[in-house]
Amino acid sequence: MKRMEFGYNKLGGSIPPSWANFSKLTNLSLSFNNISGSIPSLAGMWPNLLEFDIAVNNISGTIPEELYQVAKLDSLILNNNRLQGSLSESIGNLGLLRGSIDVSYNRLDGTIPKALASLSAVTSIYLDSNLFSGALPCELAAMSLKELNISMNNFDTTLPECYLDSTSNIVILYATYANLTGPLPEPFAMSSKLTTLALSGNPTEGTLPGAWGSATNLVNLEMDKMELSGTIPLSYNRSFSSFSVIGNHLTGEIPRGMFGMGNFYFNGNIGLTGCYKWYYSASSRSLYCQAYNTSLCCISSGYCCKGIPDCPDYKACYLPPTTPSPLSPSPLPVTEDAAPEISGPAVLVASLAALSIFMTMY
């Protein structure tokens, strides 16, 4: 018996001790069942095991040390169970692991093992929805990770600068509701690889770091309910795919260059001001914006302006900012729903031109 793949059934009970006899077993997949009990120490009896997948069951207890001794293991999926205890530094013994390590949605505690950094072929690590605490090791940031998810934990520490600076190789970082505290780091040189940063629900307070806005590769930023105050720095005066700061205490005018294509969520920042424009293009997706409970006004019509009052003097929205800045955008283009009035000499010139064309024709 080499492969045992029983996923997506309605199997119950526990993993039988008699399976220790399957010494040639290479793949064990029991995901999406109702299996209970614990991971048996007989895992060490499968020296040829390559895949161990018990995701989405009711398996409890700790991760046995014997599992970390299966040297050929290249896939370890343990998410959505009731596993307790720590993630051992012995996980570094599994040097052939590749792809994803997923222990999310369990009850694991303790610190994140630095030994994870020795698993050079791993591209995604999911540690979210556990009880991990303590410091975040910089060794993880140096890995070539496409995604690191440490959300919904209890770290009670600051986000290290090494996760955002030029030494970091992380592309997507999810760290929402992870009890990250203290000021947000503002590296001298931001990572050129980070595209997505989600930090919502952490009690960090403070202001939006200006350096983050200058990192043009960072196009998805989620910072809801973080007790942030102050203004949105002019370094954010650029386009984003998604930008969310719901439920903070931000004030001042939103940089006008942000209103390009993308999704924006400013809800609950009563002190935010500015002129909000809904763009639409048949060849690309439109901007979507939520700005309830803010002081923004709208200079467009359509679904995106529901709940946002009209600007009383929309023409003022096209004027340059009162304080010129090298980062300030050009005035917004005049569109059909907000065309400026033509009066004075311009009307006379237009009338004479029309009369000249009429006389030429007749």
With cut-offs at 50, 70 and 90, classify the pLDDT of residue 150: very high
The span from the CA of 331 to the CA of 282, in Å, is: 22
- pLDDT greater than 60 at residue 8: yes
The span from the CA of 104 to the CA of 156, in Å, is: 19
- pLDDT greater than 90 at residue 42: no
Task: Tell me what the mean pLDDT of segment 248-273 comes to.
Answer: 86
The per-residue pLDDT for 274 is 78
The per-residue pLDDT for 350 is 38
The span from the CA of 297 to the CA of 311, in Å, is: 5
What single-letter DSSP state applies at residue 157? B
Q: Going along 96-241, which residue ranges are E strands?
A: 99-102, 107-110, 122-126, 131-132, 147-149, 172-174, 196-198, 220-222, 229-230
User: pLDDT tens-digit profile of 165-221?
Assistant: 999 999 999 999 999 998 999 999 999 999 999 999 999 989 999 999 999 999 999
Beta-bridge partners for 76: 52, 101
The span from the CA of 189 to the CA of 198, in Å, is: 19
The per-residue pLDDT for 284 is 43
The span from the CA of 31 to the CA of 346, in Å, is: 73
- Taken in order 164, 169, 172, 178, is the CA torsion positive or negative? negative
Task: Tell me what the mean pLDDT of segment 77-87 comes to.
Answer: 98
- pLDDT greater than 60 at residue 327: no
Helices marked H in 40-188:
138-141
The span from the CA of 167 to the CA of 332, in Å, is: 37
**Mean pLDDT, the chain, integer:** 83
Across 30-39, 235-244, 257-266, least confident range: 257-266
Query: What ranges do the domains of the chain cover?
Result: 228-349
The per-residue pLDDT for 258 is 83
> Which tokens in the block code for residue 146?
């496409």
> Which tokens in the block code for residue 292?
């309830």
